């Protein structure tokens, strides 16, 4: 079987986040320059959302730090995950000598599927948080309706990510079907076997139970677990 190449890091999307950060900095400085008397006297530090009450006085540095915080955090996390996937993809055969060619190919394709979604998801998430941060720290009040719209946008984006990952995995199943000798594919905590009708699968060690991500019910379960957490995190970030 032809050796599988290293999965590329989606640098274009990550550079897009850098562009968002630069835009945030320029927008923050412009607001302070053109409307200094209309700006809030203090900038919410974010501790208010966690039960605190400290808010530092308005300054160019504190405003910029507040506006770019979400985008910078997303950039660091997404670049780290992308580089980790890229490095892991080039040594799959060496790291899993017991795996068959089909298993290696499916693992590589699944990593590539994840990598292809990380870029656009992180870019649009950074854009949503940046827009909301600029609005919250700009002159004028932000309505509850607008705040709710930002949180809903984050939830919709997360759901789109899950649907895209699911669709990509189905394409992998059709392109690289599971053979009889490859029916159990154990990828750490990820288990994907379209021929297995179970949602919860007990592995051979008898101590580990995983979720079969080839079943639609597993994705519903994941949505029920993840989406509320994303909504809460999004609300905290936007409130801060």
Region for residue 156 given its phi and psi (left: phi exceeds 0; alpha: psi -120 to 50; beta: otherwise):
alpha
Structural domain span for residue 76: 11-239
Query: Exposure string (b/e) for 164-197, b if CB count within 10 Å is 16 or more?
Result: bbbebbeebbeebebeeebeebbbeeebbbbebe
CA atoms of 155 and 143, how far apart (whole Å): 19
Domain count along the chain: 1
In a domain, 120, yes or no: yes
Q: Is 171 domain-assigned?
A: yes
Q: Is residue 4 part of a domain?
A: no
Q: Is residue 169 part of a domain?
A: yes
Kindly tell me if the per-residue pLDDT of 1 is higher than 90.
no
Note the pLDDT of residue 9: 92
- Tell me, what's the pLDDT at 234? 59
Instruction: Of 150, 141, 139, 10, give the one whose Cα is nearest residue 70.
Output: 150
Q: Give the residue carrying structure tokens 């080039």.
A: 90
Mean pLDDT of 12-33: 92
Pairing relation of β-strands 200-202 and 209-211?
Answer: antiparallel
Q: Which of 37-46, 92-101, 205-214 has the highest mean pLDDT?
A: 92-101
Predicted confidence at residue 123, as pLDDT, reads 95
* Residue 1, in any domain of the structure: no
Q: What is the rounded distance in angstroms from the CA atom of residue 240 to the CA atom of residue 227?
A: 20
Predicted confidence (pLDDT) per residue in 186-206, tens digit: 444 466 667 667 766 665 544
């Amino acid at each position: 079987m032809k050796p599988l190449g290293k999965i590329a890091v989606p640098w274009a999307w990550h550079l897009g986040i850098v562009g968002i950060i630069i835009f945030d900095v320029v927008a923050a400085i412009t607001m302070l320059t053109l409307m200094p008397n209309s700006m809030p006297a203090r900038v919410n530090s974010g501790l208010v959302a966690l039960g605190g009450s400290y808010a530092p006085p308005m300054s160019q540095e504190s405003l910029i730090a507040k506006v770019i915080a979400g985008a910078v955090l997303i950039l660091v996390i997404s670049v780290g995950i992308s580089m980790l996937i890229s490095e892991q993809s080039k040594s799959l055969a060496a790291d899993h000598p017991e795996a068959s060619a089909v298993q290696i190919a499916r693992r590589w394709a699944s990593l590539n599927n994840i990598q292809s979604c990380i870029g656009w998801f992180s870019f649009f998430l950074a854009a949503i948080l940046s827009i909301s941060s600029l609005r919250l720290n700009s002159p004028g009040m932000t309505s509850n309706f607008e705040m709710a719209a930002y949180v809903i946008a984050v939830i919709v984006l997360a759901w789109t990510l899950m649907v895209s990952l699911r669709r990509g995995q189905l394409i992998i199943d059709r392109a690289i079907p599971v053979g009889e000798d490859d029916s159990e594919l154990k990828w750490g905590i990820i288990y994907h076997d379209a021929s297995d009708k179970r949602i919860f699968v007990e592995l051979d060690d008898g101590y580990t139970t995983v979720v079969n991500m080839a079943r639609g019910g597993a994705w519903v379960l994941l949505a029920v677990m993840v989406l509320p957490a994303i909504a809460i995190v999004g609300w905290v970030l936007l409130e801060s």
